[in-house]
Amino acid sequence: MDQASIKDVPRNMRRTGMLLFRDAFMEALQGETLMCVVHAAHAAEILLKARIAQEHPLLIFYKLPQSNPSKDALTLIDLLEGGRTLSYEELPNQLWATTGIKIERLKQYREFGRLRNQIIHFSMTNAKALDMLTLSYSLEVLDPLVESFWERSVIDFIKNDPHPPYADIFHSGIFEDLIKQRGFPIDQRLRRLLGEASRKAWKRMQEHYEEYEEYRRFHESKTDKDLAAEYQVWSESQADDADEKYTELAEKQANWEAFLDSF
């Protein structure tokens, strides 16, 4: 096998899986249904395969390409074109067999997979509150599992991303507020992941709630002409310190890239 081309497969899979997990979590927090289930289950499938592939990439396949007398070694292209990987349902057994790691909430894991299949195959489901089910699955099943794999959480991928809406929603306290609004208690693990900065931001938001509401109502009362005039003033002010803002953005982007490279 071409080791030079296949050695990065586990790393690429876990990064892709975490970014998809991040998006699914945000979709669920914001009340988006159906696709948040699909994305969360898909993320789980990629992340479990990534952990298994750390032992050896071939362990995620149930079917390998047929041997070719004209080739000396199996390549990554051969696997992509002729290999077949294990299904969501099969992954817990393979994870345990290859790593010794068991999924403690296996029933919840399997039920969520069936929910995903209903949506994929029928574009509907008999379950309700899909956003809440996705949040429960994320916080109770997938995220603790991922943290046990790599000592990283989906929360890390939200609070370290400098781009809106991730940075804005986290550092303003809205992210923590959305979790609380959904009825999830901030337990010891979640507080550790969110950090004290999130708690303080949420507290400030509560203290100034009336001010936020008053500003929102005032903003909604503005006409398009008012907003256009304000935008013109804002644009002119931005031009004055564009270099400084560009430098700050470039630094944040570099930090984000370093975070991703470390995973």
Q: State mean pLDDT over 186-191.
A: 95
- Assess whether pLDDT exceeds 90 at residue 210: no
Domain positions in the chain? 1-153, 161-220, 222-263
- Listed in sequence order, the residues at least 6 apart from 226 whose beta carbon sits closer than 8 Å to its beta carbon are none
pLDDT tens digits for range 65-85: 776 666 667 777 777 777 788
**Which segments of the chain are extended strands (E)?**
61-63, 84-85
CA contacts within 13 A on the Cβ side of 141: 26
Q: What pLDDT does residue 100 have?
A: 97
d(C-alpha 195, C-alpha 159), whole Å: 10
Q: What pLDDT does residue 131 have?
A: 95
Contact 162, 255 (CB under 8 A): yes
Q: State mean pLDDT over 217-222.
A: 68
Largest CA distance in the chain: 74
> If 0-12 CB within 10 Å is exposed, 13-18 middle and 19+ buried, where does residue 29 land?
buried
Q: Is 63 helix (H, G, I), strand (E, B) or coil?
A: strand
Residue in 53, 15, 18, 45 with CA at minimum distance from that of residue 113:
45
d(C-alpha 206, C-alpha 198), whole Å: 12
> Which residues, listed in sequence order, are joined to residue 84 by a DSSP beta bridge?
63
Q: What pLDDT does residue 84 have?
A: 82
Q: What pLDDT does residue 206 have?
A: 85
> If 0-12 CB within 10 Å is exposed, 13-18 middle and 19+ buried, where does residue 260 land?
middle
Choose the weakest-confidence range: 50-59, 122-131, 202-211, 231-240: 231-240
- Assess whether pLDDT exceeds 80 at residue 31: yes
Higher-pLDDT residue of 33, 69:
33
- Assess whether pLDDT exceeds 60 at residue 1: no
Q: What pLDDT does residue 167 have?
A: 86
d(C-alpha 6, C-alpha 11), whole Å: 10
Contact 116, 88 (CB under 8 A): yes
Q: What pLDDT does residue 243 have?
A: 65
What is the DSSP code (8-state) at residue 87?
A: P
